[in-house]
Amino acid sequence: MELPQVVVLQDPKRLARLMVVEDATQREVAAAAGWASHSYLGRLLRGSARTLTREAADRIAAYLGVETGDLFLPLPSARDCPPGAGAGRCRCRDDVGGTR
């Protein structure tokens, strides 16, 4: 599956478990993603952020030895938002981050 330029972390707990298995720290994974700080990775792991760039996702997956699609999904389009979640009410596209 070809992923777009912005992707969504499927499951923060799965990423955390994989980091434990691979004995990788937040700082190491953030550096592998190309980020200067580990703070955004911490937000992803806590679930307070959900999205990141495809490039960062590719780097994280490669560092942890998995396919990008194993950890990340395409960002939902506006038509995927719940009915009635018009402008400003749907949060599925919020917080497009990881561009640091």
Residue 67: which CATH number? 1.10.260.40
Q: Which pTM value belongs to this model?
A: 0.76
Number of domains within the chain: 1
Residue reference for tokens 């980020």: 35
In a domain, 85, yes or no: no
Q: What is the pLDDT of residues 64-85, one digit of tens each?
A: 999 999 999 987 765 555 555 5
In a domain, 88, yes or no: no
Cα separation values, 93 from 25, 31, 89, Å = 27, 25, 10
In a domain, 98, yes or no: no
In a domain, 47, yes or no: yes
Domain range spanning residue 62?
6-80
Q: What is the pLDDT of residues 13-72, one digit of tens each?
A: 999 999 999 999 999 999 999 999 999 999 999 999 999 999 999 999 999 999 999 999
